[in-house]
Amino acid sequence: MSGWTAKRFWKQATAEACEGGFTVLLDGRRVKTPAKTPLVVPTLAMAQAIAEEWDAQEGEIKPQIMPVTRSANAALDKVATQHAEVAGLIADYGGTDLLCYRATSPEELIARQAATWDPVLDWAAENLGARLNVGAGVMHVEQDEVILAGLHQRVRDMDSFALAAFHDLVGLSGSLILGFAAIYDTYPAETLWDMSRVDETWQEEQWGVDEEAAELAATKKQAFLHAKRFFDLSRLA
């Protein structure tokens, strides 16, 4: 049974324990991913969230309003099948982390970046053993290979569900360090998103808000907040 049947055919979606974790049943029939992989998730909380999304469907199935289901499918069909590649892609952000590239002017923006980003870099140095170097302008900032290797290992050690969430936390923010700060609950997710938008917020203050850019940013913010929720669901008993 494919999870993406066109129209609702079930009366009740339920979350239950199964071999290897938890699953979702539609009138007793197990859900599968689009690639026909049995849907087995690591926690009851995640399975319940998925069941709630299925129960909320009326008539034609709308995957776009089933974010936890979609993320679980991605973890099983995409991340689990190419874990090393995904981990490497995300860990590589450490070599070009947003927080390490600072403005050369004006002084107000330089000060705002420092006030916002330096505490997070200090946290990473203390808690991840990763003191990243900072530079001004667009020239590449060299990082210690040993430090980057340590960050790579932390990413590789994540399971497929955590990595699926981490992929979006890092990719959307442009920062490996902000991604780690999110999964370690160093700051609220909304605060971390705002930290990733220091430059954009500055530009808006100077030149006004571009409605199209603001709409895109709002969409990305919701995806970032969902990624944090998905990570948390993958850890809740």
pLDDT score of 6: 65
The count of structural domains within the chain is 2
- CA of 54: how far to CAs of 3, 15, 60, 96, 235, in Å? 9, 11, 11, 39, 21
**Does residue 8 fall inside a structural domain?**
no
For residue 32, the model assigns a pLDDT of: 95
Q: For residue 56, which of 48, 40, 39 has the smallest C-alpha distance?
A: 48
CATH number for the domain harbouring residue 30: 3.30.2180.10
Count the residues in the chain: 237
Would residue 74 count as lying in a domain?
no
Instruction: Mark whether 106 and 20 lie in a shared domain.
Output: no
Task: Report pLDDT for 2.
Answer: 44
pLDDT for res 237 = 60
Say what the pLDDT of residue 1 is: 36
Rounded average pLDDT per 10-residue block, the chain, 237 residues: 62 95 96 96 98 92 92 98 97 97 97 98 98 95 98 98 98 98 98 98 93 95 98 89
pLDDT at 61: 86
Is the bond into 106 cis (omega within 30 degrees of 0)? yes
In a domain, 71, yes or no: no
Burial of 11 (0-12, 13-18, 19+ CB in 10 A): exposed
